[in-house]
Amino acid sequence: MLENRQADVTILGAGIIGLCCALSLQKRGLSVELIDRKGPGEETSYGNAGVISPWSTVPQCMPGVWKQVPKWLIDPLGPVRFRWQYLDHLIPWAFRFFCNTSPGRVKAISAVMALLMNNNITAYRELLKNTGQEHLLLDSWFINVFKAKSQPKLNDLTWRLRIEQGAPVEIIGQQQLKEIEPAISDDYDNAVIIKGQARAFSPGALCKALAEKAMNQGASFKQADIKKLELSAEGNYHLVTPEKEIRAKRLILCAGIWSSELLKPFDFKLPLIAERGYHLEFLNPGVEINNSIQDVASKFIVSSMSNGIRSAGTSEFAAIDAPPNYRRSDILKPLTKRLLPALNINQTKKWMGIRPSFPDNLPVIDRIPQMCNLYAAFGHSHYGLGMAPATGEIMAELITDKAASPTNFAISIQRFT
């Protein structure tokens, strides 16, 4: 059965990226249909750490990162793991990743990240206006905590990049740290704080609120598991499910990690890797924290959210459909207890999600070359929540201006073809 759809634009994937694309298109008067096999915001966009910052501009591919990897891999509580079965995917990707770690490349990548993060807090406030869900965005600082003896240095590239971009960064000692976050252990005796940030009180609820807004403005939502994309003779796309085909005049792929599989029949092989992350929620935590807190050495982020305290992080490179390894969530229990000694750890909830990661940590936001009316917005790795509003705007400009490609080559698909 072929369903005839009249929406100006069909968006496959109702995560935070698809939803922001939908709202930006609606702002320009276009009608939108969203398709997802689940409800809006129920995959990677559900379980992230909730950090929304104009200063999330430091990529993972930092100089010298390769020296840390062996240490991380042998530490049972370490932040990185890979599965042997995924090694044939990981090695070529890692080679390209390490090619991006020179200071020059990192600075160039960081500048593009700054453009994609620019104005994100104001943009979310605007998107949430009049939804009745404005409380889902909270003002926040980003508190990067260090244990005694590991003093942060603001002339390290990690901080320099942000400072040069205008971030209000300062080092504080233990006394000030305890005034800001009384629940933190005395083992942490200094911190770098970045002010002027925000955090999502519930990233999943934020997605639901944006989806509801899009639907109140006339968007339709269809729950369907798309198995294949086909290009028709008339230049439309058919989104094929076992039961039916959905027709799309113009299609944006916002399917996160699942996007590159859908493009393979059209001969696009993109270096997109599944970088899985985990979280552990402490449901009756007995303590509260006021900001996003990152344990810099162990690379996890903790935040008070609607369900309690969420501790999120870790990178695990494994096949998209490999079963979750919830030991990666479990390691967050001793780590978070070490950070917040009064935390009640008796009631927890585990989660795994998949970051769609390119080796330069930047997404693709582009028209697909040689494919009339097919667009891509995916690959936002660790930063999709922060980059989603700008992604929506760039995509809407591409579609309405009919530009051949984004002005910035660093986010074009052609950098990989």
Ligand X SMILES: Cc1cc2nc3c(=O)[nH]c(=O)nc-3n(C[C@H](O)[C@H](O)[C@H](O)COP(=O)(O)OP(=O)(O)OC[C@H]3O[C@@H](n4cnc5c(N)ncnc54)[C@H](O)[C@@H]3O)c2cc1C
CA dihedral defined by 40, 43, 49, 51, rounded to 10 degrees? -50
Side-chain-facing half-sphere of 224: CA atoms under 13 Å: 24
Which CB, 57 or 100, lies closer to ligand X? Answer: 57
Mark residues 313-332: x for contact with ligand X by CB under 6 A, - for none.
x-------------------
Q: Least separation, in Å, of the C-beta of 315 and ligand X? A: 9
Give the full edge-to-edge strand order of the sheet including 220-223.
220-223, 32-36, 9-12, 251-253, 374-378, 364-367
- Kindly state whether residue 270 participates in binding ligand X, applying the rule CB under 6 A: no
Stretches 74-82, 151-159, 214-222, 248-256: which one binds ligand X (CB under 6 A)? 248-256
Q: Is 14 in the site for ligand X (CB under 6 A)?
A: yes
- Residues in Cβ contact with 311 at an 8 Å cutoff, skipping those fewer than 6 apart: 279, 280, 281, 282, 300, 301, 302, 332, 335, 336
CB of 345 to ligand X, least distance (A): 19
Neighbouring C-beta atoms of residue 28, cutoff 10 Å: 13
Residues pairing with 237 in the sheet = 231, 248
**Taking CB under 6 A as the rule, does residue 309 contact ligand X?**
no
Q: Indicate whether 308 belongs to the interface with ligand X (CB under 6 A).
A: no
With CB under 6 A as the contact rule, the residue among 28, 38, 125, 135 that binds ligand X is 38
Whose Cβ is closer to ligand X: residue 189's or residue 374's?
374
The sign of the dihedral angle between the CA atoms of 265, 269, 270, 272 is: positive
Contact (Cβ atoms closer than 8 angstroms) between residue 197 and residue 52: yes
- Computed on alpha carbons and rounded to an integer, the radius of gyration of the chain in Å comes to 21
Among 16, 219, 362, 413, binds ligand X (CB under 6 A): 16
Report how far Cα 116 is from the mean position of its chain's Cα atoms. 12
Q: Is 382 in the site for ligand X (CB under 6 A)?
A: yes
In the bound complex, what is the minimum distance in angstroms from residue 173's beta carbon to ligand X?
26
Task: Report d(CA 382, CA 48) in Å as an integer.
Answer: 9
Beta bridge partners of 145: 191, 295
Taking CB under 6 A as the binding criterion, the range among 16-24, 85-93, 105-113, 159-167 that sits at the site for ligand X is 16-24
The number of residues that bind ligand X (CB under 6 A) is 39
Q: Residue from 246, 385, 394, 395 that binds ligand X (CB under 6 A)?
A: 385
| Cβ 117 to ligand X shortest distance, Å | 8
Token couple for 210: 């944006």
- Is 121 among the residues that bind ligand X (CB under 6 A)? no
Q: Which is nearer to ligand X, 14 or 371 (CB)?
A: 14
Q: Give the length of the chain.
A: 417
Which of 24, 44, 197, 236 is in the footprint of ligand X by CB under 6 A?
A: 44
Residue 254 makes contact with ligand X by CB under 6 A: yes
Cα separation values, 91 from 109, 176, 236, 273, 402, Å: 21, 44, 37, 11, 37
Q: Is 43 in the site for ligand X (CB under 6 A)?
A: yes
Q: Which of 50, 59, 285, 308 binds ligand X (CB under 6 A)?
A: 50
- Which of residues 90 and 255 has its CB atom nearest to ligand X in the complex? 255
- 221 sits near ligand X (criterion: CB under 6 A): no
Bridge partners (DSSP) of residue 365 are: 377
Assess 255 for contact with ligand X (CB under 6 A). Answer: yes
The region of 63-71, 87-95, 351-359, 395-403 touching ligand X under the rule CB under 6 A is: 351-359
Please check whether residue 165 is in contact with residue 76, taking contact to mean a CB–CB distance below 8 angstroms. Answer: no
Query: Any contact of residue 204 with ligand X (CB under 6 A)?
Result: no
Interacting residues with ligand X (CB under 6 A): 13-18, 35-38, 42-45, 48-51, 225-226, 254-256, 258, 277, 279, 312-313, 353, 355-356, 378, 380-386
